[in-house]
Chains A and B, each alone.
Chain A
Amino acid sequence: MRALSFSRALALAAIVLGLLFALLSTTANHALMDFVIRLASLAIFATSLNLLAGYGGMVSFGHGMFYGFGAYFFALTMQRAGVSIPVAIVASILGSALLAAIVGVICVRLKEIYFSFVTLAFQMLIHATILAAMPLTGGDQGLRGGVPRPPFLGLNLSNQKQLCMFSAFLLIVCLFAMHHVVSSPFGATLRMTRDNADRAAYLGIAVDRVRLKAFIIAAVFASIGGLLQALFVSGAYPDFAYWTVSGEGIFVIMLGGTTTFLGPLLGSVLMLLLNDFVSRFTEYHGLALGSVILVVALGLRKGVGDFVVDWLSARSEADASERTKTTEAAS
């Protein structure tokens, strides 16, 4: 895994953001703008799951709980407290960090499949709590009445184009921040605890503390994905906290590839395109999606992103050996 240096990543993020803004400012295509907003929400969530599962080796099957929690916490703060959007975002980040700290303390001690189970149980607990706390969350009807979007800093998020720009901005900022996390010394330590926890412990690393930190960081970004979704649909629904969100997240990172940083972003694009394409042609959405998953999972045995990277490196190696052969032949 090659990591870009801080200044290079920053420059790249700025350039991509500038290009995106230039592109989006010229378009008036509503479907495209919706796509960007949905993509931002899904890609932030999927990349945060990859931070946990791919880089940290913690296959969470309950990562969606933070997505749902972020959506509800943000929407409720906007509805009840009447604060501005940035304040509510900061509040949601703090809230989900606190929840992640509590859940994480219990979960990170567990290994492999037990970790997956307990995170799944917590996810269902959050889901059950949302359903039970009727007066606050609206139960199975979801949180209705709309999320107010008061203008801030000259931005009016009720305007679809401005919401789209804001989503693109959040996506790039979050990707940059997460890239910084995985390429930092902390990221290296996290990968070490994934590859050989015993060795890391012998080297004096507090393994559980590193895993807990990663758990909290990933949860914070997942909640940003969730609150973006709440902002987009102007509400929050129990489905956001259901286990299928976690299942989809796992599918997205497997589809895109877990060994490259941008794999989950690629997976999110493919997943959304696939979803739109499939639901246009058939009502048996699961049948089509499931078949594609089986083909990708059992056929490629790795994500599309990993596949492309391996193929490219195999080709360049082949090229290199070809070249040495020709030079040998010439001499």
Chain B
Amino acid sequence: MDLDSLFSCFASTSCVITQTTSGFIIGMLLFLVAVGLTLIFGILKVVNFSHGVFYMIGAYLALTVYQTTGSFPLALLAGGFGAALVGLAIERAFMSRIYGANPLMQILVCYALILIFDDLARLIWGGDFRSMGMPDVFQVPPVFIFGGVAPPYYIFVIAVAAAIAIVLALVIARTRFGKIVRAAAHNPAMVSALGINTVAIYALVFAAGCLLAGLAGALAAPVRTVSPGMGFSILIESFIVTVIGGMGSIAGALVGALLIGMLRTFGALGFPLFNEGLMYIFMVMVLVIRPSGLFGKEAA
């Protein structure tokens, strides 16, 4: 424990700003993964334990495309849409068979997918840790806000994630498609009886979740190491986020992700060795007080 450094950080504005920016980028990346998880759970009623796989696929595809073409926007698109395509294939081949099945079966199939894709990544890209490096566009001096450091790339990621959060919320709340999706979450049999293809809706929602996870992986590639096991650590964190925020709630995913991001950066100062443990304790506390999460519906 090193509470002194935590308190001395709170005493200086620059330290608080620096930590908050890194908390934001951790939180925003986490939000992109967690919101897919929460959407898939809310609508398909499946807990996608293999969601981290798509984050990893996005990161690797972005890395490969960036190294071959040198174009960062292209790398982002490849990461997002590549993960979405793989997700679509997996949904059709495996996930669609386990909707409504015993939760043991669902966990098992996802466990198998994690094993398979981690090994496939090792087969294709090798098992060592790889790094993409910061794209040239962002190799500029950091912005200083009240003496705190905010690298431009962090600001870019935060802006992209915030834009996605807003678009997602508008699509779900305002469009006809969003209305159908909400109806399908509520009563799929009725929606299907009204002549709407729920099978296609399910596949689309799953692919959209994978797109967001893949995009998060692509966005994370310049700032994190890319390795076959990278999907699992983010998966555990995004589970904590969705459970804290409430399964199925987009706002909950955003708040939960930012809370965890801040807990991680400030916790790293105060409890360097027990940083992860803090997250689990926080999650347990939330669940004891509100089992359905901060934004979840009651009676869960």
Contact = CB atoms under 8 A, between A and B. Distances in A.
Contacts of A122: 280, 284
B283 A294 contact: no
Interface in B160-186: none
Contacts of A183: none
A291 B103 contact: no
A118 B284 contact: yes
B119 A284 contact: yes
B104 A53 contact: yes
Interface residues on A, range: 35 or more
Interface string B269-287: 0000110110011011001
B112 A291 contact: yes
Interface residues on B, range: 35 or more
A109 B287 CA distance: 10
B104 A128 contact: no
Contacts of B240: 121
B243 A254 contact: no
Interface in B73-123: 94, 97-98, 101, 103-105, 107-109, 111-116, 118-120, 122-123
A59 B104 contact: yes
Contacts of A106: 284, 287-288
A114 B291 contact: yes
B300 interface: yes
Contact of A117 (B104, B108, B119, B239): B239
Contacts of B274: 128-129, 132
Given A258-B104, A284-B122, A110 B287 contact: yes
B236 interface: yes
Contacts, number: 117
Interface string A87-126: 0000000000000000000100111111011101110110
Nearest to B277: A128
Nearest to B285: A106
Given A250-B111, A294-B109, A114 B104 contact: no
Contact of B108 (A124, A125, A251): A251
B234 interface: no
A82 interface: no
B236 A124 contact: yes
Interface in A155-176: none
B97 A110 contact: no
Name the prevailing secondary structure of the B interface residues. Answer: helix
Contacts of B120: 287
A285 B114 CA distance: 12
Given A110-B287, A250-B111, A284-B122, A291 B105 contact: no
A290 interface: yes
Interface string B115-136: 1101110110000000000000
Contacts of B123: 284, 287
A275 B122 CA distance: 19
B47 interface: yes
Nearest to B273: A132
A301 B107 CA distance: 13
A250 B49 CA distance: 14
Interface in A286-331: 286-287, 289-291, 293-294, 297-298, 301
Interface string A119-142: 011101100110110100000000
B97 A116 contact: no
A301 B118 contact: no
A251 B109 CA distance: 9
A72 interface: no
Contact of B119 (A109, A124, A132, A287): A287
Contact of B115 (A109, A132, A243, A289): A289
A330 B67 CA distance: 81
Interface of A: 53, 59, 61, 106, 109-114, 116-118, 120-122, 124-125, 128-129, 131-132, 134, 243, 247, 250-251, 253-254, 258, 284-287, 289-291, 293-294, 297-298, 301
Given A294-B112, A298-B109, 9 more contacts: A114-B243, A120-B239, A124-B276, A250-B111, A286-B115, A290-B114, A291-B112, A294-B94, A298-B94
| In the complex, the 9 A-B pairs of residues with the closest C-beta atoms, listed nearest first | A290-B115, A286-B115, A290-B116, A293-B112, A287-B119, A128-B277, A125-B280, A286-B119, A290-B112
Interface of B: 47, 94, 97-98, 101, 103-105, 107-109, 111-116, 118-120, 122-123, 236, 239-240, 243, 247, 273-274, 276-277, 280-281, 283-284, 287-288, 291-292, 300
27 contacts: A61-B107, A106-B287, A109-B291, A113-B47, A113-B103, A114-B243, A114-B300, A116-B47, A116-B103, A117-B239, A117-B287, A121-B240, A121-B283, A122-B280, A125-B280, A125-B284, A128-B277, A128-B280, A243-B236, A247-B107, A250-B104, A258-B104, A286-B115, A290-B112, A298-B97, A298-B98, A298-B109
